[in-house]
Structure 1
Amino acid sequence: MPVNKAKYVALLRGINVGGKNKLSMKRLATMFTDAGCSDVETYIQSGNVVFAAHSSVAKGLPSSIAAAITEQFGCRVSVVIRSAKELADVVDNNPFLKRGVDTRTLHVAFLVSVPDAKHVAELDGRRSPGDAFEIRGRHIYLRMPNGMARSKLTNDYFDRTLKTTSTLRNWNTVQKLLEMTRNDASKGQEHDFNKEQSSTTRFPDSTVGHPAGKRSYILARSI
């Protein structure tokens, strides 16, 4: 019996930022269609794509889409994929929401891989006074009351320290993308890209829980 396609979100790092690596969203959507995806939609110009695909196709998109962009536009980008269920988990488990924080100050960094505990331990919780962050699995929840432009909690800082690749989205964008995944009534078999991560590590200075069954490294400090 054929397996229905499921909804996914692709988040691109490094396009249409500061006038560099300009990429038409229409061209980007075509790349996903050519790769075997359907119901392709893009959201704003920072590289957000919602699509339907079989899990086998979705799993190969980070490398195939990145390669296609390099070939056609000559720029290198990173592509992070999350299933609709994984994105829903991100929204449902934001620890800052439970503290009544202004959602306009919230962001999420989506990581390509789960960072190693020894690299997480190297993060400086006092690096950006006024800001706070928590790491849960492949996601970093951030609160930036003074704005992202003034924060020292940048993609480059997390990438360099955690030895992985991240791409940042504000909370409004995260919620909008989740809403877009629910526009289609059909539900297929989603691939859980993180299902092999089962153990949990908690930092002692964190007082916030974590989703069951997820490997989590949590660091929470607010100055």
Structure 2
Amino acid sequence: MTTRTKKYAALLRGINVGGSRKVPMADLRTVLEELGHSGVRTYLQSGNAVFETAERDPAALARELERAIETRFGFRVACLVADGDYLRAVADACPFPAAELQGKQLHATFLSEQPAGDRFAHIDRDAFLPEEFRVGDKVLYLYAPEGLGRSKLAEALARPAVTKGIDATTRNWNTVVKLVELTAG
């Protein structure tokens, strides 16, 4: 019997930003290989890795990677793992005209679990226009015409009332598209 393998992307939250929580990409590749994964590649320095392994629950893969990173580097890093099918579905379901926007204007915040619908009730969407967000399948789509760094809506979405109990990490649309490409097939 042959074990089915699948391609996954690991998205690490908050590493290599501002000189703290350093996780060199070469070391991240080594950690993933030591966990038995193959075809390991990293993308950018912000904690994106692609690997192939026996088909498994993405949440279990994320917990395994979090433990390995904490053992190796001495600090916890929230990790989200998604397979190529899920990433493709996220891209296909984008409620904004991605092809018409610059990558810095559109972002996907990947979530460790589906948030309850009332979690966003306190956000006055009209107060942030032209910025907008939509909730998808364990993902928030954020349209920020001036980019994430200037986004007041991104700040509101990152507040504890929204994020409590959920690990989240954001990627610009260019990175989402690249991760879809790297995990295809």
State the partner residue of 1:175. Answer: 177
Say yes or no: does 1:147 pair with 2:137.
Answer: no
Counterpart amino acid of residue 30 in structure 1: T
State the partner residue of 2:160. Answer: 160
Say yes or no: does 1:30 pair with 2:25.
Answer: no
Q: Give matches, 1:129-144, under 5 Å.
A: 129-144=129-144
State the partner residue of 1:64. Answer: 64
Mapped partners of 1:99, 1:24: distance in 2: 32
Q: Give matches, 1:43-122, under 5 Å.
A: 43-56=43-56, 58-97=58-97, 100-122=100-122
Could you tell me which runs of 5 or more consecutive residues in structure 1 were left unpaired when the two chains were aligned.
188-223
Percent identical among aligned pairs is: 37
Q: Residues 104 and 157 from structure 1, CA distance in 2 versus in 1: closer, same or farther, beyond 3 angstroms?
A: closer
Mapped partners of 2:29, 2:37: distance in 1: 9
C-alpha deviation, 1:99, in angstroms = 8.8
State the partner residue of 2:39. Answer: 39
C-alpha deviation, 1:84, in angstroms = 0.3
C-alpha deviation, 1:161, in angstroms = 2.5
C-alpha deviation, 1:181, in angstroms = 1.6
The structure with the larger Rg is 1
Query: Contact between 2:109 and 2:141, CA under 8 Å: does it hold in 1?
Result: yes
Query: Contact between 1:66 and 1:76, CA under 8 Å: does it hold in 2?
Result: yes
C-alpha deviation, 1:49, in angstroms = 0.6
Q: Deviations over 1:154-178 (max 9, x none)?
A: 3784362233121000011111111
Aligned length: 183
Output the aligned Cα RMSD. 2.2
Q: Deviations over 1:47-86 (max 9, x none)?
A: 0010111123754221121122222212221001111000
Counterpart amino acid of residue 175 in structure 2: T
Mapped partners of 1:43, 1:102: distance in 2: 19
Could you tell me which runs of 5 or more consecutive residues in structure 2 were left unpaired when the two chains were aligned.
none
Counterpart amino acid of residue 113 in structure 1: E
Mapped partners of 1:86, 1:170: distance in 2: 17
